[in-house]
Structure 1
């Protein structure tokens, strides 16, 4: 008789492993621009923008600063495991993505940001790409919440890159150095979000994110 095992049951172990893994990584912010946490605590709404492929090292860096965030997780079965792990490390999660349940998740995140003063975390090219092409949801949320977008890039020195995945997922090795680059906060337009305006704003965010990194 086959006994089904719910993968989400492993969330406590995975969360423990994640926190242990994070403690071994030596994060090196390129400059002192990590005051986005303090700005949010002062009541300035903030959204952190990450690339999907860098979600592990970027989330790990954020975990060293705060867990006062609300994170978007897809409604897939894999998303259920991820959501439980993130909740174990202190995140609030909302379920939805650009392909399913997106608008409801955005509005839910806005309410959580306002009620609990949490930063939102957005993997802007997820859940399925194209790689390094931001979706429009982050612009919509930033305008509705009156928030600024802070791009973050992480570059672990020793890592495994999963080249066959669409996002080239990066897994930092334990005990590696990890330079981190935090961009200046980006204020979005107050114009009506027509197709043309959304294309312009996502292109502006894309350029800012791609410019972050070693020179």
Structure 2
């Protein structure tokens, strides 16, 4: 199910782009399934994550854009019980078409919009999905184009209006490829080792001033970094 939002981009979804994106989606699915079939996984903080899902019915998982591949696949896996009903906020631009198709291939609810205050329409769509359908709306708070590791306000605002916790997730992998993209996108190598971590939940105040929102964003940046460090430390254990 997709909730549409008008794109601000002047780029058009041409037949050529549709063809390329469809191939890209198929390749991405193949990569994901190979990785999840061949890699050895460890998990940190997942029991707490499960308890939060059980308690709230829906949560707001967040991961940096560079970790989207594995974290998103984890959210649609069977490693979370009670089952999570994942959803994603994806850019309304043409560049968001391929990720939208990939998410829909896994049966994921998609809301098209940004992770900034300007994405208010998308945030309202996510609020409805959370409250009416129990969707856990995942957000990449530094997406879609950065700055890298800069936590934008959208996820926190969504948590405020939906009264759900924001939960940072991250992964560490060895070995892994790091792409030369703005986000330094990480792709684990097949047959390698991956550790997925869920960090400390954040419960934003119902009402916050601009200064309090900025402080909350800095706090989430700290928790995101700490979550990655948890994954990395567990991966390095013998």
1:138 aligned to 155, 164, 174, which one?
155
Larger helix share, 1 or 2: 2
The aligned runs of 1:72-83 (5 Å cut-off) are 72-83=89-100
Aligned partners of 1:58 and 1:154 also within 8 Å = yes
1:47 aligned to 37, 42, 60, which one?
60
* Other-structure match for 2:194: 178
Aligned partners of 1:49 and 1:124 also within 8 Å = yes
Q: How many residues align?
A: 210
**Cα RMSD for the two superposed structures:** 2.3
Moved more, 35-44 or 49-58: 35-44
Aligned partners of 2:46 and 2:198 also within 8 Å = yes
Residue ranges of structure 2 left out of the alignment (5+ in a row): 1-13, 234-238
Aligned partners of 1:54 and 1:154 also within 8 Å = yes
The aligned runs of 1:141-156 (5 Å cut-off) are 141-156=158-173
Show CA shifts across 1:82-141 (max 9, x none).
Answer: 101111112110101146961111110110111111211010111111111100011110
Show CA shifts across 1:35-58 (max 9, x none).
Answer: 424532444431101001111121
2:225 aligned to 190, 210, 213, which one?
210
The SS at the match of 2:150 is coil
The aligned runs of 1:28-67 (5 Å cut-off) are 28-30=42-44, 32-64=45-77, 65=79
Is it true that 1:189 corresponds to 2:205 in the alignment?
yes
The SS at the match of 1:174 is strand
* Other-structure match for 1:165: 181
The SS at the match of 1:105 is helix
